[in-house]
Structure 1
């Protein structure tokens, strides 16, 4: 027997303008008005920026002004570089690159919504008919479930930062969601055209973050076909798999023909892929469950309940397909001995879809518990942000103000009326939402997650409006890059051939972008300048400071500058000039 019994009044869908506004409020803060951040955000932008200002070889061989970056794949960088080409002159290169991130997010959100909508319309997903009628229509039920899935997807904590960074992960998760949509279409009515689209999607996924997940998905979907006693696995293996291989092979063929920079990223790309497959061990299992609990909140409790509630209909497509994706991604995460949060991202779209089918079966007490948890945590977090901002702007309480400003030394707060009004309006809207949820006790299905999603949007928007200048001041390398550029101009009058360096990819991208520094390329060069990153704590422990010659940089060298970011007391940079014989 189906576990769902509810009236048509519970399937009132959200207005389209509300869904659109929520998506904009979610994605726009954090994309505009900031520098590239340290980590994958800056390094990925560096690859895009290098491509946009380079030639064909730069597009085929991903690198950051000479530093090879073959690990993931070129597709996300191509799209970001294309946005820089089209819009960089208008909004700046960094913001233009993040326009691609916004498009990726919209693709993922639309895919999650339509996938759930199609599954929710199916006969086996419909609620039981009521004795005197009044049950919802299939389209109304599917649309309400789709609204719930989208709210859950937006409310997942693990999605928040990657969806606002300039990296391949944001495109990867969106392609996973789109492949889910195509999987629903294929399993609903097997067609060669849909199989071809799915293969192209999986090929693009391989060009984004490797071939391991696309290959695993084809295998798992084929197993699901056999389990459901259907024959669409013939389309998967006969059309989708060859199409995916051809899409990926196009890039491999191009780099083998053109041979950019007299080398090829293929070997390093294959090595990065194959190292993700190994036997599961305890460390990977501990990492998965330790970080997965908060990463997939609030999706996983609803998804777990959906599996339990629909346990007698395990072959129903709205349960079997998302579970197949979840099992596939989980297995790959456990086999990866190099744990990182990006391996958990593909689990979010199927979890959100699965969680939506748990909403109609949840007990009121469980829904209220999730709501109260969201209200207490998110309201408390928002209050902390407001309190820290008021202390920073007014200087009272003095202790709190000093503590906040010490987090970013050298930062001077400035009042911005626009961000203040925006933050105030969103805070008022949050309290109105909480009042609506508590006072009216609505019966609509998506009531269970509206506070969790609203709280995430509230907290992120407050951070990215009130605190963005402070965060940007702390994280950016812009000031260090400009200091280095000024010193180089004073010492060389820009008459140097290149800079050799040991800085990491994010720092290299930031220095090249903000300081217009010319780093060494693929081929070994006899550079006039040398930029080294050091750890001050390690220097203090060593008997003497390591010279460039100690690091196998042929000299002799003369130190002409040393500096660091204001807040970072451990990281330091030293600039050397080669002494003339």
Structure 2
């Protein structure tokens, strides 16, 4: 007897996709660059100094760098970094590496939350596509692997997107994610972005797609949870650190826009649009493709993503500070849009993305392997000469573990790109695999070479090695001192981390460390004893001066 089975009750069709491969790729993408190097500019020295200060007993409510509050550094990141240091340093990781685990944690939260949002909004398999698009975005690489407190904001935005995706079926979970994510976001970006997203959430019911009972209940629950959480930090700061509260309220409550006393704006839209082209690649072309195939107001997820992008772009356009990492605020909605029509991507477009990724990342990987032989074995000679020019402090250093990782990644990538009948999702997977390969090779084969060029350690050691033995002894026992200007943060942070000589801020010393371009003449009344700089840095240099008799 023939029977009819409704579509919704039929078992799901089998798929050849393997979720564990996505988890393996994400794991492989997360860790290269976290280990085995010093503090790199622009942000790592200041963040690590704040972590050290917290470990020494400073208030956990605000970051402190060189004795000054630094509200641009999220306190949540400091708490996580300090916790990882206590757990893993020194037995399993160096203090630098352990502090970077905080960025890994928040990146995992952001990727996972965005993936679940894709699954809830778009359906089966699309959560993986959202995560793959994010992994493939160039802008997320440096942020996720180095000490960057904006990873807290990425995690918070992922939670908020996840909360919106649950509003139609799980009100309590959606309210918790929206409220908690907004509070967490305020501790990373200030109050401007959370309030803008809150206004967006309140305005979404103007469209019929978001006009349903469970969303109203979600909004009510999110406000009931989020608003009290938003005031917890200001309340604690006001009660425990009144002076810091006044500073935060008047100069930092709105993040980069300032505070109540000095709210600032500027026109920065061209800067952010220009940097978005590479920062959000391949998310933005895929998002445009989705908008070309789908009306922006036809689905709940498209309405949300477009509204999110427009509101965030408006904030960035008025941002007084131009800092490319703020573009991470756009990645969750762009990745969601980009994943929506991956299966409908034309075969020619998918083939082009796949071909371009294979060519670009394949050539980059081949160049890195050739470069590895050049910097360590001197062949090819011309390339070895250029490598020495850009990183003259590097000495050949071959470690078996990074070599094994690099050797493993290359054939796995070759295996991934040999699949036939490439469609949209496979093209994005291959792109993410190519990004992972190049990043892994760069952070294994070239890591010591990069560290010698980007770290301040060689510069500090050069200065101390250049000192006569008797002068170094006088510095050590306090008979002589070296002064440094209070505003020379880079010099103070570098010598604090890598030097054994204590610098005295604005002291009346016979010797003075100044920050000036290399080969600059000594100021009148001073004699230059030493000068140094990181390789190929034409604007930043250091000089040790002695007062002329």
For this structure pair, what is the TM-score category when the shorter chain's length is used for normalisation? 0.7 to 0.9
Greater Cα shift, 564-573 or 297-306: 564-573
Tell me by how many angstroms 1:563 deviates: 3.6
Partner of 1:63: 64
Q: Which TM-score applies when normalising by structure 1?
A: 0.82
1:154 to 135, 138, 149: 135
Gaps spanning 5+ residues in structure 1: where? 1-7, 122-141, 548-556
Please tell me whether the aligned partners of residues 30 and 164 of structure 1 are also in contact (alpha carbons under 8 angstroms): yes
Preserved contact between residue 500 and residue 527 of structure 1 (Cα < 8 Å): no
| Corresponding residue number in structure 1 for 2:6 | none
Query: SS of the counterpart of 1:446?
Result: helix
Q: Give the distance between the partners of 1:529 and 1:66, measured in 2 at CA.
A: 23
CA deviations 1:213-249 (Å, max 9, x no partner) are 1111111111112323235675576553464443343
Offset of 1:356 from its aligned partner? Answer: 0.9
User: Does residue 460 of structure 2 align to residue 454 of structure 1?
Assistant: no
CA contact (8 A) 2:374 2:380 kept: yes
Aligned to 2:51: 48
Residue in structure 1 matching 2:286, options 295, 299, 302: 302
How far apart, CA to CA, are the structure 1 residues paired with 2:86 and 2:489?
A: 22
CA distance in 2, matches of 1:146, 1:233: 22
Task: Provide the residue aligned with 1:198 in structure 2.
Answer: 178
Indicate if the aligned counterparts of 2:476 and 2:501 stay in contact, CA closer than 8 A: no
- Match in the other structure for 1:380: 363
Match of residue 174 from structure 1: 155
1:371 maps onto 2:354 in alignment: yes
Q: Which stretch of structure 1 is more off in the superposition, 32-41 or 268-277?
A: 268-277
8 Å CA contact retained: 2:163, 2:173: no
Residue of structure 2 in register with 1:394 after alignment: 377
Q: Find the partner of 1:105 among 104, 107, 114.
A: 107
**Is 1:409–1:567's contact at 8 Å kept on the other side of the alignment?**
no
Q: Which residue of 1 aligns with 2:4?
A: none
What is the aligned partner in structure 2 of residue 85 from structure 1?
86
Give runs of aligned pairs for residues 409-488 of structure 1, distance below 5 A. 409-436=392-419, 440-442=420-422, 446-483=425-462
Question: Contact 1:40–1:506 at 8 Å: present in 2 too?
Answer: no
2:8 aligns with none
1:213 aligned residue: 193
> Residues 170-569 of structure 1 correspond to what in structure 2 (within 5 A)?
170-185=151-166, 187-189=167-169, 191=171, 194-227=174-207, 228-230=210-212, 238-241=220-223, 243-259=225-241, 265-266=247-248, 267-270=250-253, 272-275=255-258, 281=267, 284-311=268-295, 314-436=297-419, 440-442=420-422, 446-483=425-462, 490-495=473-478, 500-502=484-486, 504-515=488-499, 530-536=512-518, 539=520, 545=523, 562-565=531-534, 567-568=536-537
Once residues 577 and 246 of structure 1 are traced to their aligned partners in structure 2, the CA distance between those partners, rounded to angstroms, is: 57
**How far apart are 1:165 and its partner, in Å?**
1.5
Superposed CA deviations along residues 494-549 of structure 1, whole A, max 9, x for unmatched, are: 5489954356545433322222665668xx98789753211236x45xxx6266xx
Give the drift of 1:261.
7.8
**Offset of residue 364 of structure 1:** 0.7
Where 1:574 maps in the other structure, the secondary structure is strand
Deviations 1:9-30 (A, max 9, x none): 9983642321221112111100
State how far apart, in whole Å, the 2-side matches of 1:65 and 1:194 are: 41
CA distance in structure 2 between the partners assigned to 1:108 and 1:117 by the alignment: 14
Q: 1:391/1:563 Cα in 2 relative to 1: closer, same or farther (>3 Å)?
A: closer
- Give the whole-Å Cα distance in 1 for the aligned partners of 2:195 and 2:501: 41
For residue 15 of structure 1, what is the aligned residue in structure 2? Answer: 18
Corresponding residue for residue 29 of structure 1 = 32
1:260 positional shift: 7.4
CA-atom RMSD in angstroms:
3.2
- Residues 248, 77 of structure 1: alpha-carbon distance in 2 compared, 3 angstrom cutoff: farther
Query: SS of the residue aligned with 2:38?
Result: coil
Aligned length: 527
- Inter-CA distance 316–261: structure 2 relative to 1 (3 Å threshold): closer
How far apart, CA to CA, are the structure 2 residues paired with 1:393 and 1:289?
Answer: 40
Q: State the alpha-carbon separation in 1 of the partners of residues 14 and 271 from structure 2.
A: 38
Local SS of the residue matching 2:543? strand
Give the structure-2-normalised TM-score: 0.86
Q: Which has the higher contact order (CA 8 A, sep 6+)?
A: 1
User: How big is the shift at 1:351?
Assistant: 1.0
In the TM superposition, what is the alpha-carbon distance from 1:388 to its structure 2 partner?
A: 1.6
Q: Deviations over 1:379-432 (max 9, x none)?
A: 111122122222222222222111111111131113333323322221222222
Contact 1:36/1:94 (8 A) holds in 2:
yes
CA distance in 2, matches of 1:579, 1:269: 44
Cα distance in structure 2, aligned partners of 1:579 and 1:84: 45
Q: Is the 8 A contact 2:163 2:176 kept in 1?
A: no
1:348 Cα deviation (Å)? 0.9
Q: Which moved more, 1:492-501 or 1:291-300?
A: 492-501
Conservation of the 8 A alpha-carbon contact between 1:482 and 1:515 = yes
2-structure distance, mates of 1:209, 1:321: 20
Cα distance 1:516–1:116, how it changes in 2: closer, same or farther (>3 A)?
Answer: farther
CA contact (8 A) 2:152 2:184 kept: no
- For 2:226 and 2:387, the matched residues in 1 are separated by 50
Q: Assess, with a 3 A threshold, how the Cα gap between structure 1 residues 116 and 520 changes in structure 2: closer, same or farther.
A: farther
Change (3 A) 1:82 1:497: farther
SS at match of 1:347: helix
